[in-house]
Structure 1
Amino acid sequence: MPNIQQTRFFYQNTVDVLKTNIKGNLPWYRGEYNNAPAQVKDVNGQMSVAASADFSCFEVLNSNCADSDDSKNVIVVYDAFKFLTPQQAAEERIWTYATHQSELAKQYTSNRWNKIPSDDDKAVKYIQSHYFVSGVRGLIRDNAVSRLWWMGYIASRCHDYDLKKR
């Protein structure tokens, strides 16, 4: 029987509040101050899973914006979160927590996707794509962290493909 531990995530109302207040939190997203937006204080829950997410994996992610580094990043994130089921990995609240609350994931997200437009309205759309999850395409393609997990999950299902040899 696996050792059941807890993995953190945001409550849905926290995600909703953060989404509603993106424009007011633009200085935080742009790296103008380090403290998390006020809405994320003590507003997370726990989910029972067979293991615990190792957020220290973000220390070794390469965020120099080169797409060629994505395969290495996929291995790091998928290995750290491979205990998630697809249903759990489809949970927006996990990935929003990672991009907002885990300091290392937030740093990776801001470094890797540090192209926030100067126009505030365009910046809001950009942040919605990379810091949150919007639909299935957003989950698999756009969110800074979930996309890495999903690429790893999909590659792990191909029996003749070894992601670590790429």
Structure 2
Amino acid sequence: MEMRLFHQRELAQLIHDIEQNIETYRNGDFNFISEDETLSFALPDSVSIDLDMLQPILDYKAKDQSPANRAASDAKFSSILYKSITGLEPSIARDPRLWNYLSHTIFLNYVRNRYPIPQETEKAIKEIKAHFFCTDEKRSIERNNGVSRLWWMAYVVSRVDELGLDDALKAFLTKTDVRANIFERPTTSQNVNVLTGILKALHQSLSEDSILFERHIFREFMREINLWGGMILIGDLDQEDIDSKLLKIKDKVIKN
């Protein structure tokens, strides 16, 4: 299927109409969006999405489950979505009109099941804005929108060559606090070698005792990495040196 982006005027209208459309977000559909091509425009043919690969996401039904159970699918679905989209460059993936369109069309049922809409009107509007819509702010694109977050999480860890995508995502997404700490620190999310070392340490811990996933330990682990990164030029180090240092930091915070 081709990939499409909203025209800005149509997107603005949809945002304006959130309150009157709350029940549609809960139980209805926005079929008019995909049926009327004047509301959007297509990306080049080189960018496409494989609907057959997406079927597990499109069939997702977990609205009545706990937040933890709903989140348990994130690693699997992030991998599926990333692999199903061909030719999408990060520069295009930064455009919120793409994800706003997808959230209201083929992924509508997934988003409403992954992020159930509260009954109270003000809370419902807030949730809809956060998960069905997307702004050009990094937090909105990478963490909040129900669809874009899946692609961006996979993109971030796909740069780690020493772990397969599925293993990297499992380490990255096992705990929300782990993901947030990595995303919010430029030293780790932007430096591929440091990110590689962290994910390898997490992957190892996951196969052993999972102690690195304990909140206070991981936060101290990240704090020590940032302190170390502030003292040296990490970019000049080999992967082997970074891995060795991170293992020493891990042993230090666990012992303390």
Q: Same fold (TM over 0.5)?
A: yes
Tell me, what secondary structure is at the counterpart of 2:92? helix
Distance 1:117 1:109, change over 3 A: same
Q: Is the 8 A contact 2:100 2:134 kept in 1?
A: yes
TM superposition shift of 1:79 = 0.5
For residue 20 of structure 1, what is the aligned residue in structure 2? Answer: 16
For residue 124 of structure 1, what is the aligned residue in structure 2? Answer: 125
Distance 1:124 1:57, change over 3 A: farther
For residue 158 of structure 2, what is the aligned residue in structure 1? Answer: 156
Q: Which has the larger radius of gyration?
A: 2
Which ranges of structure 2 fall in alignment gaps of 5 or more residues?
63-68, 171-256
Q: Give distance in 1, aligned partners of 2:155 and 2:61.
A: 21
Q: Give distance in 2, aligned partners of 1:77 and 1:149.
A: 6
Q: How many residues are aligned here?
A: 157
Which ranges of structure 1 fall in alignment gaps of 5 or more residues?
none
Distance 1:144 1:161, change over 3 A: same
For residue 81 of structure 1, what is the aligned residue in structure 2? Answer: 85
TM superposition shift of 1:55 = 3.6
For residue 142 of structure 2, what is the aligned residue in structure 1? Answer: 140
* Identity within the alignment, %: 29
What CA deviation, in whole Å up to 9, does each residue of 1:39-67 have, x standing for no partner? 77621111115231224443212453532
For residue 114 of structure 2, what is the aligned residue in structure 1? Answer: 112
What CA deviation, in whole Å up to 9, does each residue of 1:140-162 have, x standing for no partner? 00101100000010010112222
CA RMSD, Structure 1 to Structure 2 (Å): 2.1
1:36 aligns with 2:66: no
Q: Is the 8 A contact 2:29 2:108 kept in 1?
A: no
- Structure with a larger share of its residues in helix: 2
Q: Is the 8 A contact 2:51 2:84 kept in 1?
A: yes
TM superposition shift of 1:106 = 0.9
Q: Give distance in 2, aligned partners of 1:25 and 1:127.
A: 10
Q: Give distance in 1, aligned partners of 2:11 and 2:96.
A: 8
Tell me, what secondary structure is at the counterpart of 1:77? helix
TM-score (norm 2): 0.56
Q: Give distance in 1, aligned partners of 2:11 and 2:144.
A: 17
* 2:159 partner letter: R
Of structures 1 and 2, the one scoring higher in RCO (CA 8 A, sep 6+) is 1
